Structure 1
Amino acid sequence: MAKSVTFQTGTNSSVVIGTEVTPGTATAADGTTLEMPVTEYSFTELNKHTLGIAPFRSGIGGMTQSDLMVKQQKHDRMHEISLTFHCSAQAIDRVCLALFGDGATPNALLGSMPTEVQSHIKHGVANITPVTIWFENAGHAGLGTDMYFTSCVCTSFTMTGDVGSNGGIVMGTATFVTGYAATEATLTFTGGTHTLLTAQTTIFNMHDMTTAQTLDGEDLVLYSFDLNISRPVTRISFDQGNSFRPAGYAVGGYEVTGSLTCSRDGEIVDAIDKVDGAILSLDTGVFHITAPDCMIDETSINFDEDGWKQVVPFRCVYSGATSSTVVSIATAA
């Protein structure tokens, strides 16, 4: 056969997250989709599997392997998809919806989450938690052939902001997994609600933090921050007669951690001396991260030439009733 001249490049591929109705069925052509403002991304290849290998037999004739002794294992397959993107209001809302079920400002993760529906996702049973992630022109045939992953579940969302990097834009990284086989085919969205990049004009930027940034009420000179919300996702069982699709997913508990890098001054020393929970508030006037109960971990110092910096790691928890907020990420004033 002749060598193929097809290829793929990131510049020819947009990335879309689509809302599903039923796990195991990709987003409908007239469904709700969001074109993600990605800067980079990755996903595992189409033929995701490992090889299962039987032990050698003893004796003469047992020291080689036959094709009966080596098999592809697809029963525990989990594709992983990672998206890094500008933290637009719509992108934050969509990822929060996928991760903990609240996709409208203030995007609050509560002590009671996940709900029963969000924690037990079953094949063929209506549930809007999983999403379809579609990569335009990402198929092996190149232009005109797409690649998409059905019923992806979000395992983590990290936000990272640095006043000296990326023009101050806060970057997000979301990680998804799916036990369903990837598909190479054209997936066309017609009708429905489709939010394009051009509609995403509100973006979280460190240079917009003109109001006070506070920890335990102390004003911070904030250089950078990161915030991570994560949970484990486990695939359940398999259907060998249907491409080893899973019976569903089970999800574990949420961990919310982060860190601040700020000026090592007389304000921060009072905040890090807090024994019980401290309130964190990072606010641009539009975007607003609030954590009502931050437990301060062991702090450290960056001995920078432009002034020493305090590095403050923390863990977000809730206080009192499970209806209380662990962390919220508002995307509108």
Structure 2
Amino acid sequence: MKNPNGYGTVFKLSGTRRKPYAVQVTIGYDDQGKQLRKFVSYHTSKKEALEALADYNKNNIKYTNKVTFKQIYNIWSVKKFDEVGESAIKLYELAYKHCTELHNLAMSDIRTKDLQQVIDKLEDKYDMKKKLKYLISQMFDYSMKNDLIVRDYSKYIELGKKTKKIERTVFTELEIKKLWDNLDMEFVDTVLILIYTGFRIGELLNVKIKDINLKDNYIIGGSKTEAGKDRLVPLHNKIIPLIINRIKNNNSDYLIPNFKNNKMSYSNYYREKFEPLMKALNMEHRIHDTRHTFASRLNTAGANPTAIKNIIGHAKYETTEKVYTHKDIEELKKEINIVD
């Protein structure tokens, strides 16, 4: 029967000896994780040596594995860092720095509470929590495979829920003026249409010519929620010429088509139109800032909060079917033109 890990071993030495059977136990590990062993005693027979080893363990003087987290990391990283790129190495090293409390603890002594404390210390840094949990799990996995521990406590780590913080920056009045001053730049008009309608970019790219009513100056469009779907979005007086110009120079069913006159994708618009445009104009904005700007400007100007919600699609309608009267349309147009 195989002895348990850390129990020790008995083996016969070479040559002619009076006591050829040796008892050997592990007393620790060096900085590279290699076992440090010592001979306890020598015996004339294997049976005698096994009894001596049993007595050694019975008297509770056997070696208790005390290889540390740091030692395992040093061993593991040598091979791992050879398999991954420089950016991955930097992430592992950064994660390692976030768990200094574990470095000098023996792997066999680390428990769930120790691991959870280093994770909780990171608070809302969810991505770093994930990387640290992965690193810790690798240390435990290595230790399990090499019989250094008997239980993997890393599996009990809880990361908590990811809280997404998105910073919204409104377009300033000077930036909006700059957009108007640069209408000759391709797709500047689309940014202004977004700012003056409150459409999400996906919603605007879905707009077809047939959805536009230039007689009463509004667009029926929208998506994502019941409140946002097929809503009436009035056209601000300033962007009506932009809409008309796009329709006149259009051979597509869509208001803003791609170069093949088909529906333009979000990624195509964002990467190839919006981002280069912001860079050229020396502006730092995300695409959703246009929608935030729309709501913020109307709110600052004192527009009716309910009207704002109706236009951007945040209202909670009691029915999914919306019936707009002439009065509704005029009221929304009045509210949207409060801003310049």
Which protein has greater RCO, CA pairs closer than 8 Å, 6+ apart? 1
**Which of the five TM-score ranges fits, normalised by the shorter chain?**
under 0.3
Identify, as 1 or 2, the structure richer in helix. Answer: 2
- What is the TM-score with the length of structure 1 in the denominator? 0.21
The structure with the largest alpha-carbon Rg is 2
- What is the TM-score with the length of structure 2 in the denominator? 0.21
